[in-house]
Amino acid sequence: MSSCATQTFTGITENRFNCLTQAAQNAGITISGNTGEASKAGITIRWQYDPATQILELQCTEAPFFAPCATVNARLQGLVDGCP
């Protein structure tokens, strides 16, 4: 699969980003820093967070055939929505 479209989230405070980082770590995915890439179970996610503008970009850059972009992006959206 090729990369999915980048999702851009606004209003991501540092506390909200920390919540997302903790949620990822609870799922066994290590997130360190404001930019990077992490993989688990064949799915690779790239992130870029700018605390000054409170913008977070997430992009699935790799996933197995049984995890289409719509599914991965919906899951990422749910994670972001779950962190107040």
Helix (H, G, I), strand (E, B) or coil at 63: coil
Average pLDDT rounded to a whole number, residues 63-75: 91
Query: With contact defined as beta carbons under 8 Å apart, do 42 and 30 qualify?
Result: no
Helices (H), the chain: 14-26, 69-81
Average pLDDT, the chain: 92
Instruction: Please state, for a pLDDT cut of 90, what percent of the chain lies above it.
Output: 76
Per-residue model confidence (pLDDT) at position 44:
94
Helix (H, G, I), strand (E, B) or coil at 50: strand
Average pLDDT rounded to a whole number, residues 56-81: 93
Domains of the chain are: 7-81 (3.30.310.50)
pLDDT per position as a tens digit, 7-37: 999 999 999 999 999 998 888 888 889 999 9
pTM attached to this predicted model = 0.89
